[in-house]
């Protein structure tokens, strides 16, 4: 039975959509008509992305009574319009461009994209992306910049190790961290002009003192002034990156102070430190209501992560990773693993597999029950060895054996009579010559 529905209740009355570029944006506004026919009024204009032009856009949207503004996440160009409209009190939605797929067969322009986005927004066919509040944004900028600085410092450390390899200095073979206390002292001595392997090895501290002989061999190389110039530049960049990381971490501690309770709770989780807690809060915030609900596993026996089907009945299907290997005893080494341990549950025998039979001749041995091609049950007698007839198709004829060819006659010399076969003379001795 068909029922009447009122679609006008699901349509947002006054909505705007922005197609944002680097230099300009296209704004499409759709509002109800003046009459009662249900028609919609539409306005499409182009604005500059400069701040004064965006303020003109804000005044126009407020004049038309727009309540929701929707825009696509285009690179980083969406930030300035989003933050400005949010500060002016508008409900701003940032949508994923993947959810706003362009229909095939239609021309694609900035104006048409803005109109299409506005039509989808007024019918509530879009969902907003998570944009954190300003305190979380500042924390996110700091944590991401710290990650970039750490990556930059790591790249410089790798360049130092490559430079030492080029100078035939094998310090990384002996020391696990060439930038520790002992390693930095040795590198500083190299920059100061020290080239004696024994003097460089004596700078080792702690447990590295037991490796003095190996350190002397490691410092036996060809470290030139060219390597010294590059090493000084790289160590300067490493030290500068370390200082910048410390400064950024100090700002992070200041911004994370209002969320210290959440940091302490995350720090109690095994494997999550304070730095990881800062990153988690910066990426997802502290308001779990803004995040989509987590996907739960289906209850019941047979359910497992990633399974979208109905839970299997007990005894019908089991996960292959949970199948017990056939044979008595709970302890099994790597040498006792079966080759068919990844077969379905119904193909495995319920008893202990028979020992592997002795191999036959060079034509191939019998198939033992533990093989993948064996039957599920234990055979009552050994399987026969496949012969030549079993390896040939029943309709395929046996190829005829090639007959040996007679020896080819050699070239006769000119003037000599043809040779006579001995078989002819022996068979008929009275035949004329």
Q: What percent of the chain has pLDDT over 90?
A: 28
Confidence class for position 312, pLDDT limits 50, 70, 90: very low
Confidence class for position 55, pLDDT limits 50, 70, 90: very high
State residue 96's pLDDT score. 79
Rounded mean pLDDT, 260-288:
88
pLDDT at 165 over 50: yes
For the entire predicted model, the pTM comes to 0.61
Confidence class for position 179, pLDDT limits 50, 70, 90: very high
Confidence class for position 97, pLDDT limits 50, 70, 90: confident
pLDDT at 397 over 90: no
Kindly report the average pLDDT of the chain as a whole number: 75
Rounded mean pLDDT, 158-185:
92
Higher pLDDT, 302 or 108: 108
Confidence class for position 232, pLDDT limits 50, 70, 90: very high
Rounded mean pLDDT, 271-294:
79
Confidence class for position 302, pLDDT limits 50, 70, 90: very low
Rounded mean pLDDT, 244-255:
95
Rounded mean pLDDT, 255-265:
90
Confidence class for position 361, pLDDT limits 50, 70, 90: very low
State residue 123's pLDDT score. 83
Rounded mean pLDDT, 324-330:
50
Confidence class for position 385, pLDDT limits 50, 70, 90: low
Rounded mean pLDDT, 116-141:
86
pLDDT at 425 over 50: no
Higher pLDDT, 285 or 380: 285
State residue 300's pLDDT score. 44
State residue 109's pLDDT score. 81
Confidence class for position 39, pLDDT limits 50, 70, 90: confident
pLDDT at 299 over 50: no
State residue 249's pLDDT score. 95
Confidence class for position 250, pLDDT limits 50, 70, 90: very high
For every residue of the chain, which 3-state class applies, written as one string?
Answer: CCCCCCHHHCCCCCEEEEEECCCEEEEEEEEECCCCCCCEEEEEEEEECCHHHHHHHHHHHHHHCCCEEEEECCCCCCHHHHHHHHHCCCEEEEECCCCCCCCCCCCCCHHHHHHHHHHHHHCCCCCCCCCCCHHHHHHHHHHHHHHHHHHHHHHHHHHHHHHHHHCCCCHHHHCCCCCCHHHHHHHHHHHHCCCCHHHHHCCCCHHHHHHHHHHHHHCCCCCCHHHHHHHHHHHHHHHHHHHHHHHHHHHHHHHCHHHHHHHHHHHCCCCCCHHHHHHHHHHHCCCHHHCCCCCCCCCCCCCCCCCCCCCCCCCCCCCHHHCCCCCCCCCCCHHHCCCCCCCCHHHCCCCCCCCCCCCCCCCCCCCCCCCCCCCCCCCCCCCCCCCCCCCCCCCCCCCCCCCCCCCCCCCCCCCCCCCCCHHHHHHCCCCCC
Rounded mean pLDDT, 120-127:
82
Give all domains of the chain, ordered by start, each with its CATH number: 10-122 (3.30.420.10), 132-167+230-288 (no CATH), 175-223 (no CATH)
Rounded mean pLDDT, 107-128:
82
pLDDT at 182 over 60: yes
């Amino acid at each position: 039975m068909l029922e009447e529905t009122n679609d006008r209740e699901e349509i947002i009355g006054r909505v705007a959509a922005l197609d944002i570029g680097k230099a300009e944006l296209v704004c499409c506004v759709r509002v109800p008509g003046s009459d009662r026919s249900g028609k919609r009024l539409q306005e499409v204009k182009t604005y500059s992305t400069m701040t004064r032009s965006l303020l003109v856009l804000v005044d126009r949207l407020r004049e038309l009574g727009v309540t929701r503004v929707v825009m696509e996440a285009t690179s980083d160009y969406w930030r300035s319009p989003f933050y400005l409209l949010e500060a002016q009190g508008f409900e701003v939605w940032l949508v994923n461009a993947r959810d706003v797929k362009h229909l095939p067969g239609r021309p694609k322009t900035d104006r048409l994209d803005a109109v299409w986005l506005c039509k989808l927004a007024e019918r509530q066919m879009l969902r907003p992306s998570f944009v954190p509040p300003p305190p979380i944004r500042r924390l996110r900028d700091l944590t991401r910049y710290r990650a970039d600085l750490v990556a930059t410092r790591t790249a410089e450390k790798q360049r130092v190790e490559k430079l030492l390899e080029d100078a035939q200095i094998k310090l990384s073979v002996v020391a696990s961290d060439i930038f520790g206390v002992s390693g930095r002292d040795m590198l500083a001595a190299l920059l100061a002009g020290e080239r004696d392997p024994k003097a460089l090895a004596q700078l080792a501290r702690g447990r590295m003192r037991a490796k003095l002989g190996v350190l002397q061999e490691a410092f036996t190389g060809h470290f030139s002034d060219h390597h010294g110039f590059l090493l000084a530049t790289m160590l300067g960049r490493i030290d500068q990156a370390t200082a910048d990381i410390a400064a950024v971490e100090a700002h992070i501690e200041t911004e994370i102070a209002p969320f210290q309770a959440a940091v302490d709770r995350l720090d109690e989780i095994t494997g999550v430190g304070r730095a990881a807690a800062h990153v988690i809060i910066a990426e997802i915030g502290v308001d779990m209501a803004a995040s989509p609900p987590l996907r739960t596993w289906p209850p019941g026996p047979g359910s497992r992560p990633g399974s979208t089907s109905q839970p299997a009945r007990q005894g019908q299907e089991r996960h292959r990773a949970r199948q017990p290997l056939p044979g008595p005893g709970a302890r099994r080494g790597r040498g006792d693993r079966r080759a068919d341990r990844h077969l379905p549950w119904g193909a495995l025998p319920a008893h202990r597999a028979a020992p592997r039979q002795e191999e036959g001749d060079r034509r191939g041995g019998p198939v033992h029950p533990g093989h993948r091609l064996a039957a599920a049950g234990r055979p009552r007698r050994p399987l026969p060895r496949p012969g030549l007839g079993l390896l040939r198709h029943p309709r395929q004829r046996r190829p005829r054996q090639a007959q040996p060819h007679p020896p080819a006659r050699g070239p006769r010399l000119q003037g000599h009579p043809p040779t006579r076969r001995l078989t002819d003379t022996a068979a008929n001795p009275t035949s004329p010559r």
